[in-house]
Structure 1
Amino acid sequence: MDVVDLARWQFGITTVVHYFFVPFTISMAFLVAIMQTMWMRTQDERWLRLTKFFGKLLLINLAVGVVTGLVQEFQFGLNWSDFSRFVGDIFGAPLAMEALLAFYLESVFVGVWIFGWGRIPPKIHLATIWVTAFATLLSAYFILAANSFMQNPVGYEINEEAGRAELTDFGAVLTNKVTLVTFPHTIFAAFMVGGAVVAGVAMWHLVKGRREPTAAEPGAPSDAITFRHALRIGAVAVLIGGVGAAVSGDLQGKVMTEVQPMKMAAAEALYDTQQPAPFSLFTVGSLDGSQALYSIEIPYLLSFLSTGSFQGEVQGINDIQQEYEQLYGPGDYTPNIPATYWTFRLMVGFGGLAAAIAAWQLWSTRRGRVPTSVWALRATVVLPFLPLAANTFGWVFTEMGRQPWLVFGLMPTASGVTPGSTAGGVFATLASFTVLYAGLTVLWVWLLAKHARPGLPDVSAEARWGRSSAGEDGSSAGDAAAGSGDDDAADRPLTFAY
């Protein structure tokens, strides 16, 4: 492989692995905030136990995700310096706001949340996790605004002398039509990940029957009932995320057809313009998709996905290629057809399967039921990986479908590589980053499994702290924690279990 291919592989590997943590963090922050809110409203100890249990998984994910994100930033200067120079004036504003505003809020307030148990008033403590959750949305929006410029450049002018794009309208960058449809689609898809983790872990504990209350603890909250609450919350999050992702994805498909018709044609391997155009669920044919030997198609569906009309015309790859040659000059403007075709279907397929399992979980736990079959356990083990895979394949489709452009219509991918890069040098960093990210991924999975396996924690001291907040007995939260009688309760937040 040449330098460009190696540099693309390196950026792709680091980006995909880092994105494992992004939807998990966004959705889990909100789910934990909801659980803590339920505890504050009801003072039911079950909600506090769920808050502490899933809060620990959130913090593990956040810590490892930050490490992978820091390493990913080196890619811009390491292998893609010409790209960084070209878009630096555009990317500078949204990425600076992401770091100085969104990430700052996220990191500060999650720190206050970790170490604030028993030290600050409960309502203020609850506010910190909500600020953290909304900060993740801000972070996602600013990053998507930068990425959307690569899909649909707006708010710029080209400085021919400097050979770079320069920002002229920051508002246009933030309100890019691609950003406006990509953001809700990304967030809904993220909630499928967090919901699947909550539902999957809860179902696993239910099926395994861990930590049921004994006769010696007649007043103890049942872990089965508690995990059943968590399972149903997670399943509802998956279903809401699935419906939202489907609706927003439909809108995104129409915008994509408008600004990047080649990507939509590549998603269907549609070489010739058709009106109306079918959508194939599955196709067996030549590797480039130009000839189909066997295909299962839904008539008119691609026309609707692309234009909003079942009779709409969808341009084919061949016609778009001719148009691009006239606009941009000779060259091959077709992305990798097998990759775009199958990643699109894997995205939809894995997301749909996750929603189906979540719907089954809600049905199987209705009216107090608890499933115990081996198939329930198998579905539980698979569930968290399905929306994560759907998110990953969706981003692979988005980025590979834009090729051969780094910035659509402005900068070809081959022109963005750092001058003087060698295949040997890029391969060395590719190998080292791959090993590093593989190790971090294994560590992440191991830590999540280790801390999810034991079950719900004992939170009697924290429950007393919540009930003894100022306004009920006149004492402060700090006084309640210090005088609760628990062994050094005031110091407990400083441990990993906060």
Structure 2
Amino acid sequence: MELDIVSLSRLQFAATALYHFLFVPLTLGLSIIIAIMETVYVMTGRVIWRDMTKFWGTLFGINFAMGVATGVVMEFQFGMNWSYYSHYVGDIFGAPLAIEGLMAFFLEATFVGLFFFGWDKLSKVGHLAATWAVAIGSNFSALWILIANGWMQNPVGSAFNPQTMRMEVTDFAAVLTNPVAQAKFVHTVSAGYVCASVFVLGVSAWYVLKGRHLALAKRSMTVAASFGLAAALSVAVLGDESGYLSTEHQKMKLAAIEGMWETQPAPAAFTLVGFPSQEARETHYAIHIPALMGLIGTRSLDTVIPGINELVVHAEARIRQGIKAYDALQKIRALPAGEKLPDNLRGEFEDNGHELGYALLLKRYVDDPRQATPEQIAKAAWDTVPQVAPLFWLFRVMVGIGMLLILLTGTFFVLSARRMLDRYQWLLKVAVWAIPLPWLAIEAGWLVAEFGRQPWVIEGVLPTAVAVSNLGVKTLLLTLTGFVALYTVLLVIEVKLMLKAIRTGPTAEHDPDEGVEQRHVRPFNPSKLASAK
């Protein structure tokens, strides 16, 4: 990668986002799991479920604090590194972020204090309500963030205003109900539920292997296996929905994920493995599963999925149409202030304005897209193809790990139903070693979603290359190094705190063997017995 402003700005945002996303999934999932555990405590009155809520709540608190610390920086980057992006789409993109801060984050942050410090001050039901408020707030935060991100993937409910040079909201309800955003939300939170479930399952398996806190560990494994299996299955189903929506809104991303250079007759085959070559523009040694991609991508047997080469031809035509929109835009901007916009000029822009973003792809090669040569137009058309090989393999890593986690949670669900959780030592060790797998799958999925959108920061509207701030390379290198160093320190702190809390274990308020609550009894004093006599 060249050390230019665009690539360094992308690298910095990717680094901070990847670090931040290490904390978010566990927060989403643990918030629901501890709410489930406390619900059981309130319903049954058994103190062991309160012990479980407090213990896993401690780990949630550590992770929550780190997630907040790393998340604040990301929003500031829009103004620091992506100022033209903020100017261009701030009217739309800023609204979900503002609502997230005012509604979801404040809800979450307010009640998280009651969760930790309200055990002896609130009633059982009151504290349970605070716990569920934390869980709902956490998930609402994800909802609004993913509404904003989903709009970047599928910019509905908006239009470009040639007089203000900004994207403006035309239908806020369409932004909220964006099908891409809704699919991303349920897919992302389900992945977070799997992440937390595997974490709880693995830590509990470690306790069972060590012979510690067995009652708490086995009950935690039962909750994690049940919740995790349901979540893992939903991730697979909702991932299929995301693939189907990509066929409608992000055809190039889907073709790149499949390494499909040529359009195939319907229904298209799924490429199980292969070695895509960007230079040769083909996928070597590919092994196909007939018709599967057609069923996944179109849910039909007769709908064609276009290949990369065909989509590049379409992109070239859209660039040429976008040049017409750019020409009309420059004429509009040249009008004297206050002069009425001529109908013919308005009509020309309205007819071609939806392809203006494709003309901006030429800014990489020429200052005025109207002066672009046929060779430059052809290069810009090929720029719409993301790096195929990383997308191809990252997607398969994500799916492969997802299948393994379905198998893992399903196995422990069966063992839990048969009361055989401690029967197989090797399976318990597998659960411990499987703890990092959800994070690997989630990070791979994030890279597929975001890297696959390139060269667009907003699909079909604003190329990444023209969205950055006018910063120096040295400034970006300095801030990138600083963020990576700081986030690495925070990650090390989190891991150490987590490990310390896990090694210390829960503070039990009951006898785990007898299942009865411990009573605080004063030590026996023989002198008092003598004086009593």
TM-score by length of 1: 0.87
Cα distance, 1:372 vs structure 2: 6.3
Q: Note if contact 2:146-2:184 (Cα within 8 Å) is conserved in structure 1.
A: yes
- What's the offset of the Cα at 1:328? 2.6
Aligned with residue 118 of structure 1, among 108, 117, 120: 120
2:231 partner amino acid = G
**Residue 117 of structure 1 contacts residue 125 of structure 1 at CA under 8 Å; is this kept in 2?**
yes
Show structure 2 runs of 5+ residues with no match.
Answer: 321-376, 512-516, 523-533
Please name the residue that 2:291 is paired with. Answer: 300
Q: 1:148 to 1:345 in 2, by over 3 A?
A: same
Q: Against the structure 1 CA distance between its residues 289 and 52, is the aligned structure 2 distance closer, same or farther, given a 3 Å change threshold?
A: farther
CA distance in structure 1 between the aligned counterparts of 2:450 and 2:246, rounded to whole angstroms: 12
Match of 2:450 in 1: 399
Counterpart CA distance in 2 for 1:98 and 1:423 is: 32
Instruction: Give the aligned partner of residue 101 of structure 2.
Output: 99
The alignment partner of 1:237 has SS state of: helix
Residue 274 of structure 1 corresponds to: 264
The structure 1 residue matched to 2:6, chosen from 4, 7, 12, is: 4
Query: Are 2:337 and 1:337 equivalent residues in the alignment?
Result: no
Asked if the contact 1:155/1:168 (under 8 Å) is kept, the reply is yes
Please state how far the C-alpha of 1:361 moved relative to its aligned partner. 2.3
1:442 and 2:444 are equivalent in the alignment:
no
Q: Which residue of 2 aligns with 1:452?
A: 502
Aligned to 1:72: 74
Q: 1:156 is matched with which residue?
A: 158
**For residues 250-399 of structure 1, what are the structure 2 equivalents within 5 Å?**
250-275=240-265, 276-284=267-275, 286=277, 290-329=281-320, 330=377, 331=380, 332-371=383-422, 375-399=426-450
Match of 1:52 among 51, 54, 63: 54
Q: Would you say the 8 A contact 1:10–1:430 is kept in 2? A: yes
Match of 2:214 among 205, 221, 224: 224
Letter in 2 for 1:313: V
Q: Structure 1: how far apart are the matches of 2:147 and 2:276?
A: 37
1:386 is displaced (CA, Å) by 1.1
1:207-256 CA-to-partner distances (Å, cap 9, x unmatched) read: 1212xxxxxxxxxxxx3232111112112222111110111111111111
* Contact in 1 for aligned 2:150/2:180 (Cα 8 Å): yes
Query: Does the 8 Å contact 1:207/1:372 carry over to 2?
Result: no
Structure 1 match to 2:479 = 429
> SS of the counterpart of 2:23?
helix
- The alpha carbon displacement at 1:322 in A equals 1.0
Name the SS for the 2:22 alignment partner. helix
Aligned residue pairs total: 453
Runs of 4+ in structure 1 off by over 6 angstroms are 484-487
TM-score by length of 2: 0.82
In the superposition, relative to structure 1, how do residues 43 and 256 fare at CA in structure 2: closer, same or farther (>3 Å)? same
Separation in 2 of the partners of 1:327 and 1:58? 49
Bigger-Rg structure (1/2) = 2
Uncovered stretches (5+) of structure 1, i.e. residues with no partner: 211-222, 462-466, 468-483, 488-498
Alignment of 1:475-490 (within 5 A): none
1:448-487 per-position Cα deviation (integer Å, ceiling 9, x unaligned)? 11111222212359xxxxx9xxxxxxxxxxxxxxxx9799
Q: Which amino acid aligns with 1:263?
A: K
CA RMSD of aligned residues (A): 2.0
Structure with higher RCO (Cα < 8 A, 6+ apart): 1
Tell me the equivalent position of 1:35: 37
Aligned with 1:166: secondary structure?
strand
**Deviates further, 69-78 or 197-206:** 69-78
Residue in structure 2 matched with residue 220 of structure 1 by the alignment: none
SS at match of 1:406: strand
Per-residue Cα deviation, 1:26-68 (whole angstroms, up to 9, x for no partner): 1110100010110111111221111111000100000010000
In structure 2, C-alpha distance between the alignment counterparts of 1:45 and 1:353, rounded to whole Å: 34
Structure-2 change in CA distance of 1:338 and 1:457 (3 Å): same
Q: What SS is found at the alignment partner of 1:154? A: coil
